[in-house]
Amino acid sequence: MRYGAPYILKDLQKKMVFIGGPRQVGKTTLAQTILQQYTEQKLGGAYFNWDDDENRRAILKKQWSDEQKLVIFDEIHKFPKWKNWVKGTYDTQKNKHTFLVTGSARLDLYRRGGDSLMGRYHYWRLHPFTLSEIPEKMPPQEAYERLMKVGGFPEPFLSGDENEARRWRKERYERVLKDDVRDLEPIHNIQMLSLFLELLRQRVGGLVVLSNIAQELQVSPKTLKHWLEVLEKMYVVFVVRPYIQKIPRAVLKPPKVYFFDNGDVLGDEGARFENLVASHLLKRIHFLEDRDGFRYDLRYIRDKEGREVDFVILKEGQIEELIEAKFADGEVGRSLPYYAERLKPKKATQIVAHLKRSYTKNNLHVLDAIEALARPLS
């Protein structure tokens, strides 16, 4: 059972639940697992996928019985009038049924915009596997090696086959760029968007200056900014922006770009490890936001003197933790203690990929990656 399932089951007792996240991250499998829970409790349920012709007709005719407590709509956001349809269905049948809705980019885009379903649902974002969520009996060291080599999406992670992972990733990109992007945004030059994506894969961990890439691709920076927003909506990348409060001479604009699929990174092992840490942190703060309702943010710090901390976790605008990711160096650099002294976070941590022994020095925690990243999300 995936990490969000117990909380989703609890939320379904009160409201609808929407599950969003990247393509092929396991949303349908999670929904069917929850359906199985209802079946085992003899509450009954029905599953409908909008992509199936027979299911689509059944959805529009509302062909489910009163004995089926849980009704699941998979990919229903592809139905142009789905919002009003779901609202009307929920309002008239909420005393008999509870509803689970899954989707990806368009569902999440709707959530961020005008919301006629306000107050009727809870939203959960599903992420790939991480060290805090691995299959039973899989040793953490093996899980770490798979995450570094093939990423955390269920199919390549569970197989562990690098060749199959490359084939899976190629097919996923084609579907995201050719199907999902065209469905969501009027982007005609998909080939140039694909080139932009390849350049981002080579820049993980570094500052992404769109004006420089724009010159290389011979497009406008405004166009690249839009394309970056589209790739975020597709759950292909996520952007980490600078934290500038209380930072004299802070770097103000260039973001860093990381990938939901750790296997997407084309840089060296250091870049791939930094992406691994970033994706673990994002999964944790999304989980806490979705469960508790607090507002979290993931940032980085860099000033014009070159002092940099890879990640800053903010809770309701206040610094919770400073985090530095190091692939091989277990010694604490100058930047982390410098900013820990000035910003007074609750915690300052250096996560190291290869560390013989974790230790604490001057209130700075230097932790082995598996120890640090395998802690429970809660």
**What is the reported pLDDT for 115?**
61
CA distance 210 to 208: 6
| Of 81, 102, 125, the domain-final residue | 125
**What is the reported pLDDT for 250?**
65
Question: Does one domain contain both 178 and 210?
Answer: yes
pTM: 0.94
For residue 43, the domain's CATH number is 3.40.50.300
Q: Which long-range contacts (CB under 8 A, 24 or more apart) does 192-201 make?
A: 192/217, 192/219, 193/227, 193/230, 196/224, 196/227, 197/173, 197/231, 197/236, 198/266, 200/228, 200/231, 200/237, 200/257, 201/259, 201/264, 201/265, 201/266, 201/267
Identify whether 131 is part of a domain.
Answer: no
Identify whether 354 is part of a domain.
Answer: yes
| Of 60, 92, 125, the domain-final residue | 125
Question: Does one domain contain both 56 and 156?
Answer: no
Q: Which long-range contacts (CB under 8 A, 24 or more apart) does 213-220 make?
A: 217/192, 219/192
Spell out the residues 6+ positions from residue 182 whose beta carbon is closer than 8 angstroms to its own.
190
Q: Any idea which residue has 């991480």 for tokens?
A: 130
**What is the reported pLDDT for 213?**
96
CA distance 275 to 327: 11
Identify whether 271 is part of a domain.
Answer: yes
Residue type, 377: L
**What is the reported pLDDT for 143?**
98
CA distance 124 to 111: 11
Question: Does one domain contain both 182 and 262?
Answer: yes
Question: Does one domain contain both 231 and 304?
Answer: yes
Closest by Cα among 124, 125, 121, 123 to 15: 121
State both tokens at 50.
């909008």
Identify whether 68 is part of a domain.
Answer: yes
Question: Does one domain contain both 231 and 305?
Answer: yes
pLDDT in single tens digits along all 378 residues of the chain: 899 999 999 999 999 999 999 999 999 999 999 999 999 999 999 999 999 999 999 999 999 999 999 999 999 988 888 888 999 999 999 999 999 999 876 666 555 555 678 889 999 999 999 999 999 999 999 999 999 999 999 999 999 999 999 999 999 988 888 888 777 777 778 889 999 999 999 999 999 999 999 999 999 999 999 999 989 988 999 999 999 887 777 667 799 999 999 999 998 999 999 999 999 999 999 999 999 999 999 999 998 888 999 999 999 999 999 999 999 877 888 999 999 999 999 999 999 998 989 999 888 999 999 999 999 997
CA distance 12 to 111: 18
Angle CA(163)–CA(75)–CA(62) in degrees, nearest 5? 145
CA distance 280 to 301: 18
Identify whether 133 is part of a domain.
Answer: no
Structure letter (DSSP) for residue 260: S
Cα-Cα end-to-end distance for the chain: 16
Stated as kind and residue range, the H or E segment containing 96 is none
Question: Does one domain contain both 165 and 202?
Answer: yes
Identify whether 132 is part of a domain.
Answer: no
Secondary structure percentages of the chain, helix, strand, coil, to 5:
45, 20, 35
Question: Does one domain contain both 252 and 350?
Answer: yes
Question: Does one domain contain both 200 and 336?
Answer: yes
* Cα dist from 117 to 15, 21, 47, 356, 374, whole Å: 11, 19, 21, 51, 36
Question: Does one domain contain both 119 and 265?
Answer: no
Say how many domains are in the chain.
2
Identify whether 281 is part of a domain.
Answer: yes
CA distance 336 to 354: 19
Question: Does one domain contain both 117 and 169?
Answer: no
**What is the reported pLDDT for 266?**
93
**What is the reported pLDDT for 111?**
57
Question: Does one domain contain both 111 and 155?
Answer: no
**Length, in residues, of the chain:** 378
Q: Any idea which residue has 């909380």 for tokens?
A: 7
Identify whether 269 is part of a domain.
Answer: yes
Question: Does one domain contain both 349 and 241?
Answer: yes
Stated as kind and residue range, the H or E segment containing 210 is helix 210-217
| Of 79, 96, 125, the domain-final residue | 125
**What is the reported pLDDT for 358?**
92
Closest by Cα among 166, 188, 167, 168 to 177: 188
Range of the domain at 355: 140-373
Task: Write the DSSP assignment of 127-148 as a string of letters.
Answer: ---BTTB--TT--HHHHHHHHH
Q: At what angle do helices 269-292 and 140-149 cross, to 10 degrees?
A: 110
**What is the reported pLDDT for 35?**
97
**What is the reported pLDDT for 322?**
98
